[in-house]
Amino acid sequence: MSITVLKPGLLTTVQDFGRFGHQRQGVVVGGAMDKLALRIANLLVGNHENAAALELAMQGPALRFEQDQVIALAGADLSANINGAQVRLWRPVLVKAGCILRFGKPAYGNYAYLAVAGSIKVPQVMGSCSTYLRAGMGGLEGRALQKDDVLYVGETSETNKLVLSALLMQAKKEAEFTEASWWPEPELLPKYEPNPVLCAMPGLEYHWFSENSREYIWQQKYKLTAQSDRMGYQVQGTALALEEKRDLLSTAVTFGTVQVPPHGDPIILMADSQTTGGYPRIAQVITADLPKLAQVQPGGIIQFEEVSLEQAQQRYYQQEKTMLALQQAIHNKLNQV
């Protein structure tokens, strides 16, 4: 059971939820930039939601499936096709052995997820399969995929087999691939916007900033620059300034932390955020809005909207309830076939 990499794509890595419990050793959490999309892709093929999958950045790879394989794509729309025929996101797809999955021009978003039934088989390092490029650990030999790499697929579970049998029932003999005739209701799927408003809580050093800066952060439209990657998204706007010069002793930062270096343009820390940093933290994007943020393309315009801790928690709970509903919907679908 394997997949051959014909073309690696811009930055294709193995990711799961990330590495937890080691931040005190300076080990970044990493993991998928858009966790919601990763979770859904995995659920659609019958995997555990935290299973190792491929994260495809902007320009996807070309992959040949060496055996019949159930897959699902989620997250960014990178114009996927199988042997030249368009294939849709957010649903299970049965691909015949020998078929090639390719990608075209990104239609929206940055990061797509390719889940395979049985999950990508790589060893766990410190409890996670996520690739952490800077320390060369996790994923496939601690690096992004390269041409001629061979990825192995793990054993399939009972749930994986249910997805497969549902697809086999509708598959036509001559078809190179079969998209499932069902998919989740749109309200259960993430809503991406090219220019989103992101909910954020005031950060730990919010009150260090000048009165003007404390207004700007909620009023400005920020442009996402090309200096944006898995570690952080750099945005541009009117420079923010502290009320008076103060130094922050290095302290914890995390995915969603909006920190302000001396030049005054905020950096929003992303999945590969360092564990600690020394720049004042003006805001913290709420967890529920991180997937939306991850998919904003360079040049996109974002705005922050101030929310309370209570509102942030409610949004978190709401997102988890939606995921439960999605899981239930998939379960019902598979068990009625």
Partner 1 sequence: MPQPALHPSLFLSPLGDSAVVLQFGEEISPAIHQRIRAVTHLLEQQPFRGLVDFVPAFTTLTVYYDPWELSQQGTTDAYSEVVRHLEILVEQAAVTAAAPARVVEIPVVYGGTFGPDLQEVAEQAGLSIEEVIRIHSQGSYQVYMIGFAPGFPYLGGMDARIATPRKAKPRESIPAGSVGIAGAQTGVYSITTPGGWQLIGRTPLRLFDPSRQEPSLLQAGDRVRFVPITEADFLSRKEEQA
What's the closest the beta carbon of residue 3 comes to partner 1, in angstroms? Answer: 25
- Examine residue 275 and tell whether it contacts partner 1 (CB under 8 A): yes
The DSSP bridge partners found for residue 85 are 82
Secondary structure class of 11 (helix, strand, coil): strand
Asked whether position 287 contacts partner 1 by CB under 8 A, the answer is: yes
Kindly tell me which residue out of 42, 213, 284, 295 binds partner 1, with binding defined by CB under 8 A: 284
Please list the residues that pair with 79 across neighbouring strands. Answer: none
In the region spanning residues 116 to 145, those forming contacts with partner 1, defined by CB under 8 A, are 125-126, 134-135, 137
Q: Which is nearer to partner 1, 146 or 250 (CB)?
A: 250
Residues 8-47 that bind partner 1 (CB under 8 A): 20-29
DSSP of 182-230: ----GGGS----SS-EEEEEE-TTGGGB-HHHHHHHHHPPEEEEEEE-S
274 is a site residue for partner 1 (CB under 8 A):
yes
142 vs 298 by CB, closer to partner 1: 142
Which region among 78-86, 262-270, 293-301, 306-314 touches partner 1 (by CB under 8 A)? 306-314
- Judged by beta carbon, residue 242 or residue 285, the one nearer partner 1 is 285
- Choose one: 8-16, 170-178, 232-240, 275-283; the region binding partner 1 (CB under 8 A): 275-283
- Sorted by sequence, the CB contacts under 8 Å of residue 245 that are 6+ apart come out as none
The secondary structure of residue 173, as a DSSP letter, is: T
The interaxial angle of helices 309-336 and 158-170, nearest 10 deg, is 60
Nearest CB to partner 1, comparing residues 303 and 319? 319
For residue 107, the tally of other CB atoms under 10 A from its CB is 11
Contact 64, 177 (CB under 8 A): no
Burial of 16: CB neighbours in 10 Å, binned 0-12, 13-18, 19+: buried
For position 320 contacting partner 1 by CB under 8 A, the verdict is: yes
d(CA 271, CA 111): 12
CA–CA dist 31, 50 (Å, integer): 10
Q: Which of residues 186-205 bind partner 1 (CB under 8 A)?
A: 201-204
- The verdict on 155 binding partner 1 (CB under 8 A) reads no
If the CB atoms of residues 236 and 276 are measured against partner 1, the closer one turns out to be: 276
Rule CB under 8 A: which residues touch partner 1?
A: 20-29, 125-126, 134-135, 137, 201-204, 249-252, 254, 256-257, 274-276, 281, 284-288, 309-310, 312-313, 315-318, 320-321
